[in-house]
Amino acid sequence: MDFETLKRQMQEAGIAGAGGAGFPSYGKLSEGLKVLLVNGSECEPLLYTDFHLLKRELSTVLSGAETVAEVLGIPEVLLCIKAHTAEQLSRKDGEPLSSRARVKILPDVYPVGDEVSLIYQATGKVVAPGALPKTAGVLVFNAETAYNIGQKVLRGENVTEKWVTVGGAVEAPFVVRVPLGTPVSDLFARHSVAVPEGYAVLDGGPSMGKLIDPERAVVTKTTKAILVLPESIEAVRSKRMDAEMSVARAETACCQCTHCTDVCPRALLGYPIEPHKLVRTSPQAAEADASLVLAASLCCGCGLCTDFACCQGISPKAVIDHYKTVLKRHNLRFGARVTPKVSAEREYRMIPVERWKKALGVAKFDKLPRFLGEESYSRVELPLLQSIGAPALPAVENGAKVERGQIIANAAEGLSLPLHASIAGTVRILGGAIEIERKE
Ligand code: SF4
Ligand code: SF4
């Protein structure tokens, strides 16, 4: 297979970064790379999606990664997993998996799965601030993304399903493969998952997941987990705090202790980001001169500054998220050439996962989920935009009958992915989504 064929196949299959970022994977392919990292680090607490995927489908994951490496001439593939996952999967550091692939064991710290942190931890290279991983000669795919590439090259399968952890305050957490577009309410109903008064639901992990309405939300290409968590814990409380509230608190309560900067994983890698300074920048000044908050674009959103460091109830993350939207509006990104110098303190300041779970208030919910296999649902709702880039354009009409795997929306111009039917049934076009219903 040649470069263009692989790129076309990956786009045709609708493969997006399955780890949460949702970047169209074909857009990451490049010549001259030295190492491919398969990210199975499962950085977020309570998530066991990649664990079950690697336990059951390692050969497909490796086929996807090996194919990319072969076509792009990448000499080395590293399957990156944390120490606790390696133990559960009985894998050793450096263990060969094929002629070019081997296991790389990462420490049980947070947030080692963040792309920039992962690259440093696995290869010792630091991606320059604001630059793409390929500038360091590295390509990173989430384990499920590599699995989806394997499914396409081995079996011709387009992306129609998602591996998802359902956990948190549920009686028996589980991992399941469901059709894309499965309504969260149907998934909960099938498994008798209740959301009691005073509980919230997240799409994603407790650190970086988003609050969702379980009555309206559906499983998308970037859904790694659906978690039910009490409103009272830090993981949920801090997500309810907006930038306005945080700026108001910062004005009165921030003592400029710099703890938020001391633990920031990007600052520890030598990136010019200092959350304590961003917190004290006034939003009015940032609006008038967005370059004052350019460093906000270097934040990976890990939440350590907020849920771990700040004892004044301020959310530097919420402030920084606000500044990210200001930068987007002004079409600005960090572009200065900076050669980062990794802090000598980094090794000692990395946060052990167990401490992180306690800070978030989720330690008591951490149980190894059962794997339930594949499930089928009779109705799905597929958003036209499930990745970074432009939304797909419907290619079917109201009332059309479709088969599973069939294209229902084409990729738009530029960075975009097509969409495939995740179940067989009858189509209904909704604003921004396509519903498919199968009459039983
Ligand atoms: S940790 Fe909190 S109080 Fe300290 S500098 Fe950061 S925002 Fe201010
Ligand atoms: S969320 Fe806070 S700690 Fe994490 S990268 Fe952003 S500024 Fe740093």
Count how many domains the chain has: 4
Neighbours of 285 (CB within 10 A): 11
Ligand sitting nearest the alpha carbon of 293: 2
DSSP states along 219-247: --TT--EEEEEETTSHHHHGGG--HHHHH
**Is residue 440 scored above 80 in pLDDT?**
no
CA gyration radius, the chain = 21
**Residue 401 sits in the same domain as residue 274:** no
Q: How far, in Å, are 15, 417, 418, 430 from residue 413 at the CA level?
A: 16, 10, 11, 21
Task: Among 155, 176, 204, give the residue marking a domain's end.
Answer: 155
Q: Which residues pair with 230 in a beta bridge?
A: 199
Mutate to test the pocket of ligand 1, among 238, 251, 257, 262 (most ligand atoms within 8 A of CB): 257
Q: Is 248 a member of any domain?
A: yes
Mutate to test the pocket of ligand 2, among 112, 264, 276 (most ligand atoms within 8 A of CB): 264
**Is residue 368 scored above 70 in pLDDT?**
yes
**Residue 36 sits in the same domain as residue 148:** yes
Task: Among 114, 137, 155, give the residue marking a domain's end.
Answer: 155
Q: Is 15 a member of any domain?
A: yes
What pLDDT sits at residue 231?
96
H-helix segments, 92-229: 115-123, 143-155, 184-190
**Residue 145 sits in the same domain as residue 168:** no
Which CATH number is 196's domain given?
3.10.20.600
**Residue 116 sits in the same domain as residue 217:** no
Task: Among 121, 155, 189, give the residue marking a domain's end.
Answer: 155
Question: Could you tell me the distance, in angstroms and rounded to a whole number, from the CA of residue 261 to the centre of ligand 1?
Answer: 8
CA atoms within 13 A of residue 213's CA, in its CB half-sphere: 2
Q: Is 330 a member of any domain?
A: yes
Q: Which residues pair with 390 in a beta bridge?
A: 416
pLDDT in tens, 133-162: 999 999 999 999 999 999 999 999 999 999
Question: Could you tell me the distance, in angstroms and rounded to a whole number, from the CA of residue 317 to the centre of ligand 1?
Answer: 11
Ligand sitting nearest the alpha carbon of 276: 1
> What phi, psi does 434 have (nearest 5°)?
-125, 125
**Is residue 379 scored above 80 in pLDDT?**
yes
**Residue 195 sits in the same domain as residue 289:** no
Token representation of residue 402: 């479709």
**Residue 272 sits in the same domain as residue 404:** no
**Residue 17 sits in the same domain as residue 131:** yes
Q: Does residue 177 line the site of ligand 2, with CB under 6 A? A: no
The residue nearest atom 1 of ligand 1, judged by CA position, is 310
Please, are residues 269 and 117 in contact by the beta-carbon 8 Å criterion?
yes
Q: Is 356 a member of any domain?
A: no
Question: Could you tell me the distance, in angstroms and rounded to a whole number, from the CA of residue 267 to the centre of ligand 2?
Answer: 8
Burial class (CB in 10 A: 0-12, 13-18, 19+), 375: middle
Q: Which residues pair with 162 in a beta bridge?
A: 178
What average pLDDT does the segment 413-440 reach? 94
What pLDDT sits at residue 90?
96
The residue nearest atom 8 of ligand 1, judged by CA position, is 254
Q: Is 61 a member of any domain?
A: yes
**Residue 164 sits in the same domain as residue 183:** yes
Mean pLDDT, the chain, whole residue set: 94
Question: Could you tell me the distance, in angstroms and rounded to a whole number, from the CA of residue 381 to the centre of ligand 2?
Answer: 34
Percent of the chain with pLDDT over 90: 86
**Residue 255 sits in the same domain as residue 373:** no
Q: 3-state SS of the chain: helix, strand, coil percent to 5?
A: 35, 20, 40
pLDDT in tens, 265-296: 999 999 999 999 999 888 888 888 888 899 99
Q: Is 395 a member of any domain?
A: yes
Report the atom number in ligand 2 closest to the C-alpha of 263: 3
Ligand sitting nearest the alpha carbon of 267: 2
Which CATH number is 140's domain given?
3.40.50.11540
**Residue 371 sits in the same domain as residue 382:** no
**Residue 365 sits in the same domain as residue 384:** no
Of the candidates 23, 64, 77, the one whose C-alpha atom is nearest the C-alpha of residue 389 is: 23
Q: Does residue 314 line the site of ligand 1, with CB under 6 A? A: yes
H-helix segments, 162-272: 184-190, 234-237, 243-253, 259-263, 265-268
Q: Determine the number of helices (DSSP H) and then strands (DSSP E) in the chain.
A: 15, 19
Q: Is 283 a member of any domain?
A: yes
Which CATH number is 405's domain given?
2.40.50
What pLDDT sits at residue 166?
98
pLDDT in tens, 211-229: 999 999 999 999 999 999 9
Please, are residues 35 and 77 in contact by the beta-carbon 8 Å criterion?
yes
Question: Could you tell me the distance, in angstroms and rounded to a whole number, from the CA of residue 232 to the centre of ligand 2?
Answer: 22
Question: Could you tell me the distance, in angstroms and rounded to a whole number, from the CA of residue 279 to the centre of ligand 2?
Answer: 12
Torsional class of 42: left (φ above 0), alpha (ψ -120 to 50), beta (otherwise): left
Q: How far, in Å, are 107, 127, 241, 310, 400 from residue 349 at the CA level?
A: 13, 20, 26, 15, 56
What pLDDT sits at residue 291?
86
Domain that holds residue 168: 160-233+361-377
Q: Is 194 a member of any domain?
A: yes
Which of the four pLDDT bands, split at 50, 70 and 90, describes residue 252?
A: confident
Percent of the chain with pLDDT over 70: 100
d(CA 102, CA 32): 20
**Residue 387 sits in the same domain as residue 420:** yes
pLDDT in tens, 65-124: 999 999 999 999 999 999 999 999 999 999 999 989 999 999 999 999 899 999 999 999
The residue nearest atom 2 of ligand 1, judged by CA position, is 310
The contacts found for 156-161 with CB under 8 angstroms, 24 or more apart, are: 157/13, 157/405, 158/12, 158/13, 158/14, 158/405, 158/407, 158/420, 159/13, 159/14, 159/15, 159/16, 159/221, 159/420, 160/404, 160/405, 160/420, 160/421, 160/422, 161/374, 161/422
The residue nearest atom 4 of ligand 2, judged by CA position, is 302
